[in-house]
Structure 1
Amino acid sequence: MAYDFYQGSTFNFAGTLQLTGSVVGGTSGVNKNQPDFSQWAITAAMYDSEGVVNYGSIAVANLSGGDPTTNGLYNLTATSSQTSTWPVGKAQLNLKVTAADGSIMYADPIWFRIKATPLI
């Protein structure tokens, strides 16, 4: 499934990090079986459908905090001036996560369909 997004709109996307199953030594999250994601760094960018052409980096706010229900929450934002340069067509949002121990993981792409703004 691809999310529709209109070129030139402000981009806002929220999500949650979670590792599959319990994590050895996990002490955070609602079930106390996940790492403390507040210590992790997240970077994001929108790419073309092949994952080759980078349309631009996206600002990331890691919203993990002391409340177990916020562990892993993040918010992505890009201004309308940034997204006005994103070409119409299928695109993928890619996330790179760097854990507290320095290990790097990549999330599966999140698919978008960038559409021309109808009100120009």
Structure 2
Amino acid sequence: MAYDFYAGSTFNFTGSLQLVGPTVAGTSGVNGNQPDFSQVTVTAGMYDQTGETLLSAITVLNLAMLSNPETNGLFTLNANAATTATWPPGKAQFILQIIMQDGSKLISDPIWFRIKASPIAQGGQQ
């Protein structure tokens, strides 16, 4: 399934990361079985359909606080309207990279988007 997104709109999402199942030495999160996501680095980008051409980086803000287990893995992702206006119409892949405390890297499965031209920006005035 692909999510529709209109180029020239603000890309603004909030969500949580969680590794599937308990993590070896995981001590964080509500169940105490996840890594401490407050100590990881997350980068994100919107790529073309092939996943080889970066359309733009996405700003990532880590909201995890060790003192509040419910925030473990909570992130916001943002790209302003001027940035997304450069995204060409067509299929695109949103991909996250997580760099763990030990330097190991995890890459998310792509989240598919269908970039569309804004119907309002197409000169709908009469």
Same fold, TM-score > 0.5, yes or no: yes
Query: Residue in 2 aligned with 1:79?
Result: 80
Query: Residue in 2 aligned with 1:62?
Result: 62
> Structure 1 length normalisation: TM-score?
0.97
- Structure 1 residues without counterparts, runs of 5 or longer: none
Taking only the aligned residue pairs, the percentage that are identical comes to: 58
Query: How many residues were matched structurally?
Result: 120
Distance 1:15 1:108 in 2: 15
Q: Which runs of 4+ in 1 moved over 2 A?
A: none
Query: Residue in 1 aligned with 2:102?
Result: 101
Larger Cα Rg: Structure 1 or Structure 2? Answer: 2
* Residue type at the aligned position of 2:12: N
What CA RMSD, in Å, does the superposition of the two structures yield over aligned residues? 0.8
Distance 1:3 1:62 in 2: 23
1:67 is displaced (CA, Å) by 1.1
Which is worse superposed, 18-27 or 98-107?
Answer: 18-27
* Residue type at the aligned position of 1:36: D
- Structure 2 residues without counterparts, runs of 5 or longer: 122-126
> Structure 2 length normalisation: TM-score?
0.92
Distance 1:15 1:3 in 2: 15
Which is worse superposed, 20-29 or 38-47?
Answer: 20-29
